[in-house]
Amino acid sequence: MDACCSELRNSPYDIAVVGAGSAGFSAAITAADLGARVALIGHGTIGGTCVNVGCVPSKTMIRAAEALHGASAATRFPGLAGEARVTDWPSLIAAKDDLVATLRQKKYADLLPDYEGVDYIEGRARFDGDALLVSGAPLRAGKTIIATGASPAMPDIAGIGDVPVLTSTTALELTERPASLLVIGGGYIGCELAQMFARMRTAVTLVTRSRLLPEAEPEVTEALTRYLRDEGVTVRTGVFYRRIARREEGVVLTVLSEGGEETLTAARVLATTGRHPNTEGLNLTDAGVELDRRGAIIVDNRLRTTRPGVYAAGDVTGRDQFVYMAACGAKLAAKNALNGDSLVYDNGAMPWVVFTDPQVAGVGLTEAEARAAGHEVKTSIVPLDQVPRALAARDTRGLIKLVADARSDRLLGGQILAPEGADSIQTLAMALKFGVTTQALGETIFPYLTNVEGLKLAAQSFGQDVAKLSCCAG
């Protein structure tokens, strides 16, 4: 639809959705399915973060690195040897770009004609008092949903403005593989990309102020740190960033640690220190939409902002920054906007995944969170060398940790560190959603020689030593 069509802009809409990424499309489709007339307002490349610069490009590159690593890892089986190397980096990047373009077209642009109730309008949106403007022209709508997402944030380090810093977006657009890379930030993006580049034969140093994956269980992060180091990644935790500078050889980061001040040098630097909400230019504060100190839109449990009739969902709210939660929240916001705010946003059984190898996956409360919430806590930890699938694969890196309420035996949360952990976590999410106890999980039938069987063993280990069980004896 032509963004300059004044007739369209003067038409009344039931809902205006600002942002044409995963959350925006979810809100627009949901509202259209409920019979609403929707203005979907996008600016820039359609499809948002996930398909263009986030999940899709990063995960295909991570899979490529896994294939490369898998060849050399074949030696864990007696009698096998393998070797693989990067022969054409530009071709790998081009294939990634082709996948992104294909999915963007099929899952976003090509969907629009199927929804007659949705008008797509290209333009910049902002509030002007009670009015919503698109490229300066007013657009009338009964309700508004803001789903403008978030962008990579720069760390607060002296000299950062004078250095060519890569982000999670631009690092995946490099036409030449860097010889060495300094990754600043130990969250999920930093861990994923550090390992990916290291497996592509880039010398990687990963530095972070705290520990890796600070919101994960300490047993998980300790093990993951060890595995990354085993693959040649230099991991430096608990450092203070003093300054960064550009040098002829690349970049130099000066840090302060327990051993004193030192410098770290690399050809390129990648910042993975979080994301900031895309709220600039929307004039939200003047419109009565309150923001938090990070610039994220404040919403209640029905995704309503502080301005009546305006909702927000996805990364722009600063919470649960996963594409599936953005889409889920946007769907809920659209339903509430049309049907009286009856639905409550619930992330109590929200699974999450870090696509390192081994993968890290979790759901529910950590041990520390459960204690802080007042539970009398019991935990179980089963190393993967107790899981037959891992033994058969000759890859016992990892563990499973479960957290439960000691009084009721009800499961409260759990985390998995395993080569196929992402495919197992949904079982635990379902268990939490329906209030399953550790006893019930331990008595459930699981297929043999699967990683998910480890959940059964972890549940059984609350009451017995699973190392003394024969195969399938439980």
CATH number where 358 lies: 3.30.390.30
| Rounded Cα distance, 3 and 9, in Å | 8
- Tell whether 231 is in a known binding site: no
User: How open is the CA angle 183-185-189, to the nearest 5 degrees?
Assistant: 85
Least confident of 3-12, 193-202, 293-302, 424-433: 3-12
- Tell whether 129 is in a known binding site: no
3-class DSSP state of 198: helix
Q: Which positions ≥6 away from 98 have C-beta within 8 Å?
A: none
- Tell whether 192 is in a known binding site: yes
40 and 133 assigned to the same domain: yes
In a domain, 12, yes or no: yes
Total domains, the chain: 3
Q: pLDDT band at 8, cuts 50/70/90?
A: very low
Which residue range is the domain that position 299 belongs to? 6-47+108-152+276-339
Q: Which positions ≥6 away from 278 have C-beta within 8 Å?
A: 19, 148, 149, 150, 151, 315, 316
User: How open is the CA angle 421-193-365, to the nearest 5 degrees?
Assistant: 40
Q: Which DSSP symbol is given to 99? A: H
- Tell whether 189 is in a known binding site: yes
In a domain, 70, yes or no: no
Token pair, residue 331, equals: 């769907």
Instruction: Please report the pLDDT score of residue 11 as a whole number.
Output: 63
| Rounded Cα distance, 134 and 120, in Å | 12
Token pair, residue 373, equals: 């919430």
Write down which residue in 274, 295, 316 finishes a domain: 274
- Tell whether 188 is in a known binding site: yes
3-class DSSP state of 62: helix
In a domain, 59, yes or no: no
- Tell whether 260 is in a known binding site: no
169 and 192 assigned to the same domain: yes
Write down which residue in 274, 304, 331 finishes a domain: 274
* Whole-number Cα distances in Å, 129 to 133, 231, 242: 10, 55, 43
Strands 125-128 and 131-134: antiparallel
365 and 400 assigned to the same domain: yes
Q: pLDDT band at 395, cuts 50/70/90?
A: very high
11 and 135 assigned to the same domain: yes
Neighbouring C-alpha atoms within 13 Å toward the C-beta of 460: 21
In a domain, 91, yes or no: no
- Tell whether 42 is in a known binding site: no
310 and 236 assigned to the same domain: no
* Residue-wise pLDDT tens digits, 308-367: 999 999 999 999 999 999 999 999 999 999 999 999 999 999 999 999 999 999 999 999
Instruction: Please report the pLDDT score of residue 208 as a whole number.
Output: 97
φ and ψ at residue 413, rounded to 5 degrees: 175, 175
358 and 414 assigned to the same domain: yes
Q: pLDDT band at 469, cuts 50/70/90?
A: confident
Token pair, residue 170, equals: 């631009």
* Residue-wise pLDDT tens digits, 435-450: 999 999 999 999 999 9
Average pLDDT rounded to a whole number, residues 169-186: 97
Q: Which positions ≥6 away from 259 have C-beta within 8 Å?
A: none
448 and 399 assigned to the same domain: yes
- Tell whether 315 is in a known binding site: yes
Give the other-Cβ count within 10 Å of 227's Cβ. Answer: 16
Q: pLDDT band at 388, cuts 50/70/90?
A: very high
Q: 303 and 336 in contact (C-beta within 8 Å)?
A: yes
Instruction: Please report the pLDDT score of residue 253 as a whole number.
Output: 98
Q: Which positions ≥6 away from 170 have C-beta within 8 Å?
A: none
| Rounded Cα distance, 300 and 156, in Å | 30
* Residue-wise pLDDT tens digits, 34-43: 999 999 999 9
Spatial CA neighbour of 429 closest among 334, 338, 328: 328
For the range 251-256, what are the long-range contacts, defined as Cβ-Cβ under 8 Å and sequence gap of 24 or more?
A: 251/163, 251/182, 253/157, 253/182, 253/184, 253/207, 255/207
325 and 453 assigned to the same domain: no
400 forms beta bridges with 382, 416
In a domain, 71, yes or no: no
Percent of the residues in the chain that have a pLDDT greater than 90, as a whole number: 94
φ and ψ at residue 41, rounded to 5 degrees: -105, 120
Instruction: Please report the pLDDT score of residue 1 as a whole number.
Output: 40
- Tell whether 187 is in a known binding site: yes
In a domain, 433, yes or no: yes
306 and 406 assigned to the same domain: no
Identify the CATH number of the domain in which residue 282 sits: 3.50.50.60
Write down which residue in 219, 245, 274 finishes a domain: 274
- Tell whether 298 is in a known binding site: no
Sign, CA torsion 114/116/122/127: negative
257 and 287 assigned to the same domain: no
Location of structure tokens 């607060």: 156
In a domain, 422, yes or no: yes
357 and 460 assigned to the same domain: yes
In a domain, 227, yes or no: yes
- Tell whether 123 is in a known binding site: no
202 and 309 assigned to the same domain: no
| Rounded Cα distance, 163 and 379, in Å | 46
* Residue-wise pLDDT tens digits, 117-156: 999 999 999 999 989 999 999 999 999 999 999 999 999 9
